[in-house]
Structure 1
Amino acid sequence: MTKIDLLISKSYGLECLKYIINYDKKVLNRVYTLDDRNDKRTKFQEIIDLCKENQIEFSTVSTNKEFEMKFKQRSDTPDYVIVVGWYWIISEGTLNFVKREIIGFHYSLLPKYRGGSPLVWAIINNEQETGVTMFCFREKIDNGPIIEQTKISIEETDDINTLVEKSNNIMLTQLENNLPKIIDGKMEMDLQNEMEATYCSNRIEEFGKINWNKPARSIYNFVRAQTFPYPGAFAFLEDGTKIRVLKAKMVSDVWYSVPGQVVRINKEQGSILVGVGNNEVIEILLIYINGSETYPVNVFKSIKSRIL
């Protein structure tokens, strides 16, 4: 019988585990999960409880080194490994340890947007579509053969949360479509076109500083690409207090102002208009300051204010 290991974390890793258990839990050899209990998105305990309930062997790991050690010390080599919500690079040694394939999901239309934070970069770059690619791992980053690929439209109202949710749902559908083929050893794959490859770097919190000199479209995309649970696009009040802009809206008005200047306070809506590049404005609908979410009108009382 085909034996499958899982490397999983977060809600979509948990859903993957649930699906395979319901389909045929006998194919599950072992589950590895990250000890990510310091992350608000963690599903650590739910994954452990589900493994115990179904008598599935599992290991928890805190570092990639610990995972590599545990994975290679075992005597029962899996046929396949399915990776969902795993944040560490799979080493060449681990790739060679598996009998057949290590399979994962990348939230882009590979070979485009290989690397870290592909959905964030897609929104920032004003892409109109992205997608989910189910593929096999190879030594280089996200360059393995493709099993299935599905396009997703990026709507004007989408933010990183809605796009992740869409992607998670498609990922589960791709798993459902291909798990029987994996178990039967009848999986089909297509090579990627290296001439079309593009790459994106991992993002860190410091990259989220808003540049008010940019046009409204760029700032709108920048905000919706990084809203909670991501660190969020941020700026500073004139006294140095840090604020995070959680939600914004495009406005078609032309305003002549200094970028970052509050040009209007909408008391009824709770929002403010802020001047940006190209003589445009953007409406700020929700911010995060001093540990809590609030409407901008609770912070900005004067059109003399400026956000840095």
Structure 2
Amino acid sequence: MTRAVVFAYHNVGVRSLRVLLAQGIRIDLVVTHEDNPDENIWFGSVAQVCRDCDIPYITPADPNVPEVEARIAALAPDFVFSFYYRHMLKAPILAAPSRGAFNLHGSLLPQYRGRVPVNWAIIHGETETGVTLHVMNIKPDNGAIVDQLAVPILPDDTAHDVFEKVAVAGELCLHRALPRLVAGTATFTPQDLSQGGYFGGRKLEDGRIDWRQSAQQLHDLVRAVTHPYPGAFSDTPRGRLTLWRTRRIDAVPSTSDGGRVTLWAADDKLWLRCADGGLLRVLDATLDGKPLKPDALSAPLEFES
């Protein structure tokens, strides 16, 4: 029987664990994370899957410590897999499996190596992303590719929408590639790292709106950081404005000043003219912590671009 140690978290971790079990992989240990009480936990629980399926699991703050490394080495797994686990794995863990260590990454490598690849792809206006199963080494997301599967990013897709597609694509990609890994017939294609870049994590402050952006750039930011993320925001004299949902449009009711970045209400709707003259309809927003409705915006809000 093929045996594995699995590092997993999030919906991709849940789905991927189920693929391994369905294909008869014996999982001797799962390493996952304790949920952070300060984080919006909107995704499935790897720990719950382990409890349901009687799989031993641990939640170390740092997996790269001698006691965890020794435990994994003693298990002598055939494979180590990482499915949306948040820590880099160092050389002793990567060397433990006899048949290799593999990671499932949420982009079409070598594009968008690093953190939160779905969010970055939307911010940059991509129309496609996907998942890549690749060899793990001590450098992040640069090992040889085993398999990939693409998914579309539609014009109004949010990060949550795309992540749901990526989670399913990860399941399909792993399900397709796993028999070849087990049989020893998988092919390994080196990455051309010149064709992609590395991106870091994002913080709440990265959602602050730059009003010099075009309408398309602002729309992409809004959908990349909307729920369950903290949102795209700007501080105004009336309180913090957070844009949660927008849509590109061609024409809106006119205002008195056509040259400024302006948010205004007309026809019982909210409209936003951006620095490039492009137009957005604001479908969901809050101002000073309260839902912003058209009848509550008594005077337009203007922004420096």
TM-score surpassing 0.5?
A: yes
Q: Distance in 2 between matches of 1:178 and 1:47?
A: 21
Matched, 1:18 2:22: no
Does the aligned pair in 2 maintain the 1:237–1:306 contact within 8 Å? no
Does the aligned pair in 2 maintain the 1:13–1:85 contact within 8 Å? yes
TM-superposed deviation, 1:290:
5.6
Aligned to 1:244: 242
Q: Distance in 1 between matches of 2:90 and 2:251?
A: 52
Q: Distance in 2 between matches of 1:94 and 1:290?
A: 48
What SS does the corresponding residue of 2:46 show, helix, strand or coil?
Answer: helix
What SS does the corresponding residue of 1:144 show, helix, strand or coil?
Answer: coil
When residues 196 and 301 of structure 1 are mapped into structure 2, their CA distance, relative to the original with a 3 A threshold, is: same
What SS does the corresponding residue of 1:253 show, helix, strand or coil?
Answer: coil
Aligned to 2:298: 301
Aligned to 2:201: 202
Root mean square deviation of aligned Cα: 2.3
When residues 48 and 150 of structure 1 are mapped into structure 2, their CA distance, relative to the original with a 3 A threshold, is: closer
Aligned to 2:58: 59
TM-superposed deviation, 1:211:
1.6
One-letter amino acid of the structure 2 residue matched with residue 215 of structure 1: S
Query: Runs of at least 4 residues of structure 1 off by over 6 A?
Result: none
| Unpaired segments ≥5 residues, structure 1 | none
Does the aligned pair in 1 maintain the 2:215–2:277 contact within 8 Å? no
What SS does the corresponding residue of 1:279 show, helix, strand or coil?
Answer: coil
Aligned to 1:94: 93
Q: Distance in 2 between matches of 1:50 and 1:151?
A: 27
TM-superposed deviation, 1:237:
2.7
TM-superposed deviation, 1:282:
1.8
Q: Distance in 1 between matches of 2:287 and 2:273?
A: 20
Q: Distance in 1 between matches of 2:248 and 2:94?
A: 46
TM-superposed deviation, 1:36:
1.3
Percent sequence identity over matched residues?
Answer: 24
Aligned to 1:146: 145
Q: Distance in 1 between matches of 2:243 and 2:66?
A: 42
Does the aligned pair in 1 maintain the 2:64–2:90 contact within 8 Å? no
Q: Distance in 2 between matches of 1:54 and 1:117?
A: 29
One-letter amino acid of the structure 2 residue matched with residue 264 of structure 1: A
| Unpaired segments ≥5 residues, structure 2 | none
TM-score by length of 2: 0.88
Does the aligned pair in 2 maintain the 1:114–1:200 contact within 8 Å? yes
TM-score by length of 1: 0.87
**CA deviations over 1:250-302 (Å, ceiling 9, x no partner):** 1223861322x2233342xxx3112211223322110245656x344264222
What SS does the corresponding residue of 1:130 show, helix, strand or coil?
Answer: strand
What SS does the corresponding residue of 1:72 show, helix, strand or coil?
Answer: helix
When residues 50 and 131 of structure 1 are mapped into structure 2, their CA distance, relative to the original with a 3 A threshold, is: closer
One-letter amino acid of the structure 1 residue matched with residue 24 of structure 2: D
What SS does the corresponding residue of 1:16 show, helix, strand or coil?
Answer: helix
Q: Distance in 1 between matches of 2:94 and 2:46?
A: 24
Correspondence 1:26-175 to 2 at 5 A: 27-38=26-37, 39-41=39-41, 46-61=45-60, 63-64=61-62, 66=63, 68-74=65-71, 75-175=74-174
**CA deviations over 1:15-39 (Å, ceiling 9, x no partner):** 22223223325x2111111001423
**CA deviations over 1:152-202 (Å, ceiling 9, x no partner):** 222112121111111111100011112222333332211111332322222
Aligned to 1:262: 263
